[in-house]
Structure 1
Amino acid sequence: MSRADVEIAGSGLAEVTCAWLLAARGHRVRIRPRPDAGRRPLLLGRSTLALLHSLWGIGEPAELGLATHRLTHRRAHWGADPAAPPLGAPAVVVDGARLAARLLDRLAAHHPEAVGEAPGGGGAPRWTVTAASHPEDRWTAGRRRMLAGETSLAPGQDDRIARLACTELAWLHLTPLGRGNALLQAMVPGPAAHPEKLLGRLLAGSALAPRLLGAPAAAVSLPAAPRLHRTPATAPSTDAPGRLLVGAGAIRYDPLSGTGTAQALRTAVLATAVVHAAATGTSPEALCTHYARRLRTAFRAHLDTCARLYPQAFPSPAWQYEIDACR
């Protein structure tokens, strides 16, 4: 097998994981970390933690010296259905940016040659792996936004239970962060000019209001509709390296699924397989076609789930565009 020279442009979970897997297979890797994007709480469920363990050999993020908060249950009140009893759903809350940084440290400790000026000190890269993509090259299923801000739990609240609730306009998710703090998120069907004000109104009309001391004083509005890149893989040519998009640059799930982090890690696994198979003589063009097909299949299945779930909770016209976009 010949070794491939690979440039990893970025240092999110997907990029760092791809670099780790490629280096472990003997490929020459250079990773160019990007600036820290700031704190980003992640809720990692059992399946995502199992995937991290299989890829990185860590049982839990706490093994990397990270502050974490453990959840034991999830309670959902979706649409007009009665609130379900708490469901056992072990999970860990961790800062995603810090997790990626610690994994990058782990990569540098085991494969110091991967963090340098050039792939293995050698030639031009055969492949570039990145999560960065141009907005005009993406297909997005809707316009919905995620409003998010941090606040404090009311006294006496169980900080081991994550909660999902609905209003006529939005679904809201409360994630305890530990030490009396909580992340409040709300999915709305379109842009929000004043996210903190809208988040406060949504909270006031929901069953979650008594569980918090108040609405977040500050909030952000982030695009959150499912998204797929039209060309997530390009084979190498005589003039340019091949390009493989991973993570949210390749495919993004609706946050309602709770599987976005796991899917980002799976793109890293699949991209690693493409590079490795190409180095053993398999057609890069065929591999890139397979990569794109796998992502399209996963995206279609995810949209089918969204198209089934959202009408159950939001019969109002405000959500009709989002539901149609998933169909």
Structure 2
Amino acid sequence: MTAGWRSSVHVMGRGVGVAAAQAVLLENATSFSAEQGPERGSAPVVMLGEQALHLLDSLFGEGRISGSHRITRRIVRWNEAEPVSIPHQAFALSGQALLGALPLAHGSPSAVPPRFSLHARPPKPSLHQFGQREAAAAPVTLAAGADAASVLVEAVAAGWLFLIPLGAECAWLLAVGDAPDALLAQSRLVAPAIGTLGAVEARFETAPRVLEHLVGDDWLVLGSGALAFDPLCGDGTAMAARGGILAGAVASAIADGQDPGPLLRHYRAMLIAALRRHLAACLPFYQRGGSGPWWQEQARVTAEGHAWCTSMLAVEPEPAFVLTGSRLAPRTVAA
């Protein structure tokens, strides 16, 4: 066993969070074994901001996330207002392409039994979910003259639409709140940009949610299995990567013999704090999106989620650790 390895870690699952955690374990020379588990579904389309892409490049190597389509502008029409055009540097690609680009680490298991495990899928799957708003995803072709470098976001009476180009002619439409054709019938921004609408190919929940049990005595959950953001406001891929980095640092510290209790409490608090910030960013959009019952309900449950996060963090102490590189250090030492 390599010098400095006191115990090993077992990593179960796949995805951005798992790959990020494995990268940290490798950097920290923490022995680990990896179990991929069954193939899971991927999002039809993922949009990465420049900061998210830089984070993934720093973890997995520059240029690994290839085949992405550059986005330069976001055009938003909200609550019957005129469309607003905002510069927005991002990259769009299919979820399958993103997962295929992630490195598959097999680890370097030691003779010492694992002291700790990381899970992409929760052992205890009870969720705190703030609302119910299923998205329907359908492939579309862009209309002649549509700007393939712009994403379009539009609020209509019973929900919202998100059009994400993947190339000069093809795009994905996300419809939240009702069926795509029903929402498009109310659309003044997105509908004119669509040439043909394909059949719905995926349905998934977009309401923000967090596991009730993020950690156990000798395990934690990471990635989208632990925490999920609303695609309307927030970069779920970047959050999965940041959470994976933190999870890997926590696992390394535990494998090195540190007390798991404070480390796991820190991990849980950091994820809830991230969700609280996300909900605070989402709330104004749902408050201003429309005056109908659907929008009022989404604003109500988003505010409830923010209040729940606040109540959870109110009983937590100040953060006890700070991430320095790939290691967690006690805040008093780091300061």
Q: Please, what TM-score do these two structures have when normalized by structure 1? A: 0.84
Separation of aligned partners in 2, 1:303 and 1:248: 16
**Superposed, which structure 2 residues align to 1:62-101 within 5 Å?**
62=66, 67-85=67-85, 87-101=86-100
Following superposition, the deviation at residue 70 of structure 1 comes to 1.5
The alpha-carbon distance between structure 1 residues 134 and 123, as it changes in their structure 2 partners (threshold 3 A), is closer
- Amino acid of the residue matched to residue 69 of structure 2? H
Cα distance change, pair 261–315 in 1 and its aligned pair in 2 (3 A): same
CA distance in 2, matches of 1:13, 1:277: 21
Instruction: Choose the corresponding residue for 2:194, options 187, 190, 212.
Output: 212
Q: Does the aligned pair in 2 maintain the 1:139–1:228 contact within 8 Å?
A: yes
Q: How does 1:149-164 map to 2 (within 5 A)?
A: 149-164=138-153
Q: Is the 8 A contact 2:208 2:228 kept in 1?
A: yes
Distance 1:217 1:167 in 2: 21
Separation in 2, partners of 1:210, 1:271: 44
Q: Distance in 1 between matches of 2:114 and 2:291?
A: 51
* Contact kept in structure 2, 1:74 and 1:88, CA below 8 Å: yes
Given that 1:41 and 1:94 are in contact with CA atoms closer than 8 Å, whether structure 2 keeps it comes out as: yes
Q: Percent identity?
A: 30
The runs of at least 4 aligned residues of structure 1 exceeding 6 Å deviation read: none
Segment of structure 1 superposing worse, 142-151 or 270-279: 270-279
* Contact 1:11–1:101 (CA under 8 A) maintained in structure 2: no
Give the match for residue 333 of structure 2: none
Specify the alignment match of 2:15 in structure 1. 12
Match for residue 224 of structure 1? Answer: 206
How far does residue 54 in structure 1 lie from its aligned partner after superposition?
2.2
Following superposition, the deviation at residue 134 of structure 1 comes to 6.0
CA contact (8 A) 2:122 2:221 kept: yes
Instruction: Write the distance in 1 (CA, Å) between the matches of 2:135 and 2:118.
Output: 27
Shift of 1:24: 2.1
Match of 1:239?
Answer: none
| Stretch deviating more after TM superposition (248-257 or 53-62) | 53-62
Q: Of 27, 33, 54, which residue of structure 2 is paired with 1:50? A: 54
1:283 paired with 2:259, answer yes
Figure out how many residues of one structure are paired with residues of the other and give that number.
298
Q: Distance in 1 between matches of 2:253 and 2:40?
A: 33
| Corresponding residue SS for 1:61 | coil
Q: Compare the two structures and name the one with the higher helix fraction.
A: 1
Asked whether 1:169 is paired with 2:171, we answer no
Q: Offset of 1:303 from its aligned partner? A: 1.9
| 1:134 to 1:280, Cα distance in 2 relative to 1, 3 A | closer
Q: Secondary structure at the match of 2:139?
A: strand
CA distance in 2, matches of 1:131, 1:168: 36
Query: Retained in 1: the 8 A contact 2:131–2:208?
Result: yes
Q: 2:285 matched to 1:309?
A: yes
Matches of 1:49 and 1:18, distance apart in 2? 17
Deviation per CA, 1:223-278, whole angstroms, max 9, x where unpaired? 1110011221223xxxxxx1111111111111111411110111101101111222
What's the CA shift string for 1:2-56, capped at 9, x where partnerless? 3431111111111122112202211112222234435532111111011112222
Q: CA shift at 1:121, angstroms?
A: 4.8
What does 1:26-41 align with in structure 2 at a 5 Å threshold?
26-38=29-41, 40-41=44-45
Structure 1 distance, partners of 2:168, 2:73, is: 18
Query: SS of the counterpart of 2:34?
Result: strand
> Hey, what's the Cα distance between the residues in 1 that align with 2:26 and 2:112?
16
Measured in 2, the distance between the counterparts of 1:283 and 1:316 equals: 51
Q: Is the contact between residue 43 and residue 91 of structure 1 (CA under 8 Å) also seen in structure 2?
A: yes
Structure 2: distance between partners of 1:46 and 1:30: 32
> How has the CA–CA distance of structure 1 residues 146 and 134 changed in structure 2, closer, same or farther, with 3 Å as cutoff?
farther
Structure 1 residue 57: Cα displacement: 2.8
**1:110 alignment counterpart:** none
CA contact (8 A) 2:286 2:296 kept: no
Structure 1: runs of 5+ lacking an equivalent? 108-112, 193-197, 236-241
Q: Tell me the C-alpha RMSD between the 2 structures.
A: 2.0
Given the superposition, is the C-alpha separation of residues 271 and 173 from structure 1 closer, same or farther in structure 2, using an over 3 Å criterion? same
Match among 113, 124, 134 for residue 145 of structure 1: 134
**Alignment pair present for 1:23 and 2:4:** no
